[in-house]
A = this chain, B = another copy of it.
């Protein structure tokens, strides 16, 4: 194994596969990155056995890769990444100098790193699941950024399926949903071909994928079946096991008929919610919206700390007078993820889930379940 490559380019590829390395792996070899060098290419692989990432580097003008000798080796991910990141040179040389000892060098300096043989690394199965569809990179990024906040926190939940984003295809429509049962985010996407599947992918995997994707107009190829999902983009293959368990039937929760309608400037509402953040009842950031056609007030109260009471200057409201109490943090998350200048909130009753939407984009909706009032 011997090659020379542009240092920054190589570091970026190491960073992509490193996302599969778990800090708490049961198998020590899995803290390593597998290097496989053939005369035509380098394949880098990392895995925690649930998630596997493989990226291929072919010689090109950007990476200046020259391969002198084939070979393979497993190198500790964090050490090799740190060396390549911190070297000052334009390019970097790799050479196997002993069975598992690699020499990494530039003009001025040299590092020796102890590795492990390729035979110590587990064999991973990269078969391609049958169901194939494509999403523009931008669309996949939007799905993740607009829904993943509503997933359950992985450390706390009793239902692992809620730590993922559900992808449910029905003919030409793909519904991407996340919920922790207190709130929900759903984004609707149009597919080019009719599809039929219902799978849930961990939000951690999806966030890693969108961080690895380059910014361009290309599509991501996605292959799914009943056990795994595979994403292919930019010479990278990212595969992840699906989350087990039945994702809740969220259609039942989404209200369709409303009795009153609120709109306001998003930023003003976000700032008003944020100002009440320290007024907590048993650690919950509980706020109340008092709505009538004349004005909308946002209030918060804690017996110990004090209270607040503010008029929302940019709000408009139509419908019956209504007071609703909810978790201010959930409201804040939903408004931010809508990513809109103006937010619409539609109500169905004082104790019933309400819907948040972007008046200019009907592909996305949020639901928040209210709390019982504090008085």
Contact = CB atoms under 8 A, between A and B. Distances in A.
A304 B114 CA distance: 7
Contacts of A82: 277-278
Interface stretch (A83-91, A173-181, A198-206, A286-294): A83-91
Interface in A246-278: 271-272, 274-275, 277-278
A76 interface: yes
Given A78-B278, A275-B87, A277-B82, A109 B310 contact: yes
A306 B113 contact: yes
A374 interface: no
A264 to B, nearest CB: 13
Contacts of A309: 109-111
B275 A79 contact: no
B310 A274 contact: no
A310 to B, nearest CB: 3
Nearest to A113: B306
A307 interface: yes
Interface residues of A, number: 31
* Consensus secondary structure, chain A interface: mixed
A102 to B, nearest CB: 8
Nearest to A101: B306
Most chain B CB inside 10 Å of its own CB: which residue of A111, A304, A313: A111
A112 interface: yes
Contact of A308 (B110, B114, B275, B278): B110
A311 interface: yes
B109 A308 contact: yes
A305 interface: yes
Contacts of A110: 308-310
A108 interface: yes
Interface in A63-86: 76, 78-79, 82-83, 86
A78 B112 CA distance: 51
Nearest to A78: B278
Nearest to A277: B82
B86 A274 contact: yes
Interface string A356-371: 0000000000000000
A114 B313 CA distance: 27
A310 B112 CA distance: 12
Given A76-B305, A278-B78, A278-B82, A311 B114 contact: no
A313 B278 contact: no
A83 B278 CA distance: 9
A78 to B, nearest CB: 7
Nearest to A85: B275
A86 B306 contact: no
A374 B215 CA distance: 48
A79 B111 contact: no
26 contacts: A76-B305, A78-B278, A79-B278, A79-B305, A79-B306, A83-B275, A83-B278, A86-B274, A86-B275, A86-B277, A87-B275, A101-B306, A108-B310, A108-B313, A109-B308, A109-B310, A110-B308, A110-B310, A111-B306, A111-B308, A112-B306, A112-B308, A113-B305, A113-B306, A114-B304, A114-B305
Given A110-B308, A110-B309, A112-B307, 16 more contacts: A78-B278, A79-B278, A82-B277, A86-B271, A86-B274, A88-B271, A101-B306, A109-B272, A109-B309, A109-B310, A110-B310, A112-B306, A112-B308, A113-B306, A114-B305, A114-B306
